[in-house]
Copies of this chain bind each other. A is one copy, B any other.
Amino acid sequence: MINLKNTLFEKKLKVTPQRLKVLEAVYNISHPTAEDVIKYIRKRYFDIATGTVYKILETFVEKGLIKKITTDKDIIRYDGILKPHHHLYSLEGNLIKDYIDEELDKILQEYFKHKKISDFEITEISLQIKGKFNK
**Residues of chain A whose beta carbon lies under 8 Å from any beta carbon of chain B:** 68-76, 88-89, 91, 97, 99, 101, 103-104, 107, 111, 115, 117, 119-135
Q: How far is the CA of A135 from the CA of B97 in the complex (A)?
A: 35
The list of the 5 closest CB pairs from A to B, nearest first, reads A70-B70, A68-B72, A123-B131, A122-B131, A121-B132
Chain A interface SS verdict (over half): strand
Contact of A123 among B73, B119, B126, B130 (CB under 8 A): B130
Contact of A132 among B101, B123, B126, B134 (CB under 8 A): B123
Which chain B positions have C-beta within 8 A of A73? 76
Query: 5 extra interchain contacts, Cβ-Cβ under 8 A, other than A120-B133, A122-B130?
Result: A74-B74, A88-B120, A126-B128, A126-B130, A127-B128
Contact of A130 among B76, B107, B111, B124 (CB under 8 A): B124
Which chain B positions have C-beta within 8 A of A99? 117
**With A115-B101, A127-B127: A134-B121 Cβ-Cβ less than 8 Å:** yes
Which chain B positions have C-beta within 8 A of A135? 119
CB proximity of A109 to chain B, nearest CB, Å = 12
